[in-house]
Amino acid sequence: MPIKILVVDDTILYRKVIGDILKSETDIEVVGTANNGKIAISRIVSLQPDLLTLDIEMPVCNGLEVLEYLRRNHPQISAIMLSSLTRKGGDMTMKALELGAFDFIPKPEGGSMAENQAFIKETLIPKVKAYARRHAIKRLLNKGGSQTAGHKVLSPPKTTATTPKTAPIKTTPTKRRNLTSTIIAIGISTGGPNALTRMLPMLTAPIGVPIVIVQHMPPMFTKSLADSLNNKCSLKVKEAEDGEVLKNDTVYIAPGGKQMKIVANLDDHGKVKVTDDAPENNCKPSADYLFRSVASLYKERVTGVIMTGMGNDGTKGLRLVKRHGSPIIAQDEESCVVYGMPKEAVKAGVVDISVPLDRIAAEIIKTVKKP
């Protein structure tokens, strides 16, 4: 069954381009369009879309107001936002994700029409299909977990008094370390802003180590994400700057559109090196790029964390972290928006423990406390 999409944008050109791109996919059905949020709301009941592509900044009724309406009246429907590459666009996108948007893509700026169309197709279609898979699984679970072609839903194992339902999944037995971690490195992508909003406040200061994060995002948006998280956490959260020395109880988010690594410094902590090196795994910033640097500098004193996201970025870097005997924590499948990056790390055999989102902070704390 194709996923049904309502295209909402106040610009006729974008409605046309996005509609044509979506219609080119056999498993996607465009059920209608709307040129502002008020018209979109009026058409949701009759058209019954599964998903909206939703411009944030529109007259009459903007994208945030549409998301508020969906959250109150149609929580089963989500949206992929189209956001401008500006600071205002970044701030509004963070709010949209908090209101329940599945993900976002930036509106391309400059370039030819063909280049912009190719960019939208390359970024939008994988997110739509990721949402379609998640939507189909939810629908099956709501119907009782029946199995259909292309989707296999496994019933959860029976629990006992000794195996509670929330028990973490051990994947790779490791030796007990006599050392504690002196840095936390996290790789995360689709679903990341909301996952970090839930997890990072559980790490209450002081934890005694710095945290470095790669969240797949374009420029402008990582600064908005850092500011949003900083308002919610007892740890300081900031977008990383080239040359700054890492400090304990501070979270550094790699700048969008750049690569970030940690290099040696004169004191105990390393310092940030922001580069314009090429993308890895089509990602810039890349988790592999960050993980390689912390593995080289911190050896066995790293805690690696891999969380919700599409693709396999992070797995190669985590192999190097694991080679030194450092612990690797993964977010479990059920709590991921997209179980891609953690799944690949689990398949590679580098993950020590896979836990729900709400238990990741507790597992991190165990690795920075003296055994």
Q: Write out the catalytic residue numbers.
A: 189, 216, 313
Contacts 24+ apart (CB under 8 A), 261-264: 261/289, 261/290, 261/292, 261/293, 262/183, 262/212, 262/290, 262/293, 262/294, 262/297, 262/298, 263/293, 263/297, 264/297
Residue corresponding to tokens 């470095």: 212
Whole-angstrom distance, CA of residue 275 vs CA of residue 330: 27
* DSSP-derived pairing of the beta strands 183-188 and 302-306: parallel
The dihedral built from the CA positions of residue 82, 84, 89 and 94, taken in this order, carries a sign that is positive
Question: Residue 74: how many CA atoms within 13 Å on its side-chain side?
Answer: 21
Whole-angstrom distance, CA of residue 137 vs CA of residue 151: 7
- C-alpha closest to that of 63 among 107, 30, 29, 19: 107
Whole-angstrom distance, CA of residue 31 vs CA of residue 176: 56
Q: Helices (DSSP H) in the chain: which residue ranges?
A: 12-23, 37-47, 63-73, 87-98, 113-142, 192-199, 221-230, 287-298, 315-323, 341-347, 357-368
Whole-angstrom distance, CA of residue 155 vs CA of residue 146: 10
For residue 81, give the 3-state DSSP assignment. Answer: strand
Residue corresponding to tokens 């549409």: 66
